């Protein structure tokens, strides 16, 4: 490839191997990892997804204030990230000196306690069984009650008509090695190493939030999923 062509690709944001800081030559399985591209201008970054409106029924949103999703201009690097925003709500009969009292809100909003929802997710990406993958992403939050970041595996079992999806451990950890995170923090790295068992051909990352901590915001930028080597500790059964 000539230098002129390579320079053009870099200018367009197209990398031969997309990487994030700390990763040199590994190919990133995440498309649009910096959340910069929105070619169809639908407000959702290309190759990322958000919940359907049916995921937010009126009985869980009695005030009619549903979350907002999509691309935004708050970014760790570049110009954009993906965001989930839950609008402010009136809190009946709650008096507190804190800006927001999560426990008090949970006590009041009895019909919505323990409601978890997907804030946003990546598209499916290809993985190889018996291999180890390192997942990294940068997350910023304001007033989040709880956050889980999950790896979802797509199993293709022999003789089955439809793929089966399962949540594969572990959850992504933050800098303090916690798999559930609450509160407000600036851009922070979350990461995990995930072994891929047999029959798995694709995966995706889903960001789950424990809702009703309004007003709350969640942002993600600079995500990578890279293969780091074999994982020899699974028992191979397929070829027996």
Would you list the domain boundaries of the chain? 3-89+98-230
**Helix H or strand E segment including 68:** strand 68-72
Q: Tell me the average pLDDT across 25-35.
A: 89
Question: Which tokens belong to 135?
Answer: 């997942």
In this structure, what are the phi and psi dihedrals at residue 9, rounded to the nearest 5 degrees? Answer: -65, -40
Cα–Cα distance measured from residue 117 to residue 57, given in angstroms and rounded to the nearest whole number: 12
Residues 147-179: tens digit of each pLDDT: 889 999 999 998 888 999 888 766 788 777 778
Which pLDDT belongs to residue 145? 79
Tell whether the model's pLDDT for residue 237 goes beyond 90.
no
Neighbours of 210 (CB within 10 A): 20
The number of beta carbons lying within 10 Å of the beta carbon of residue 203 is 22
Tens of pLDDT, residue by residue over 31-88, are 999 999 999 998 999 999 987 766 666 655 555 567 788 999 999 999 999 999 887 6
Q: How far apart are CA 20 and CA 137, in angstroms?
A: 9
Class of domain 3-89+98-230: mainly beta
Q: Is 116 helix (H, G, I), strand (E, B) or coil?
A: strand
Cα separation values, 146 from 103, 132, 174, 181, 209, Å: 12, 27, 13, 5, 6
CA dihedral 21, 25, 26, 31 (to 10 degrees): 70
pLDDT at 7 over 60: no
Q: Which residue has the higher pLDDT, 167 or 128?
A: 128
- 220/9: higher pLDDT: 220
Q: How far apart are CA 87 and CA 120, in angstroms?
A: 16
In sequence order, the β-bridge partners of residue 120 are 207
């Amino acid at each position: 490839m000539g230098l002129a062509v390579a320079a053009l690709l870099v200018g367009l944001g197209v990398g031969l191997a997309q990487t994030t800081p700390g990763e040199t030559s590994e190919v990133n399985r995440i498309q649009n990892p910096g959340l910069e591209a929105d070619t169809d201008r639908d407000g959702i970054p290309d190759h990322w997804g958000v919940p359907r409106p049916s995921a937010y029924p009126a009985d869980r949103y009695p005030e009619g204030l549903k979350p907002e999703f999509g691309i935004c201009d708050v970014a760790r690097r570049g110009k954009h990230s993906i965001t989930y925003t839950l609008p402010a709500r009136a809190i009946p009969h709650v008096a507190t000196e804190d800006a927001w009292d999560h426990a008090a809100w949970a006590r009041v909003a009895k019909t919505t306690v323990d409601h978890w929802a997907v804030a946003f997710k990546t598209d499916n990406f290809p993985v190889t069984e018996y291999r180890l993958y390192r997942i990294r992403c940068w997350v910023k939050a304001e007033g989040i009650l709880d956050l889980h970041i999950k790896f979802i595996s797509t199993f293709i079992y022999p003789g089955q008509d439809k793929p089966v999806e399962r949540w594969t451990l572990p959850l992504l950890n933050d800098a303090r090695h916690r798999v559930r995170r609450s509160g407000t923090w600036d851009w922070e790295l979350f990461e995990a190493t995930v072994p891929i068992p047999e029959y798995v051909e694709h995966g995706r990352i889903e960001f789950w939030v424990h809702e009703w901590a309004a007003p709350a915001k969640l942002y993600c930028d600079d995500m990578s999923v890279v293969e780091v080597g074999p994982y020899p500790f699974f028992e191979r059964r397929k070829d027996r």
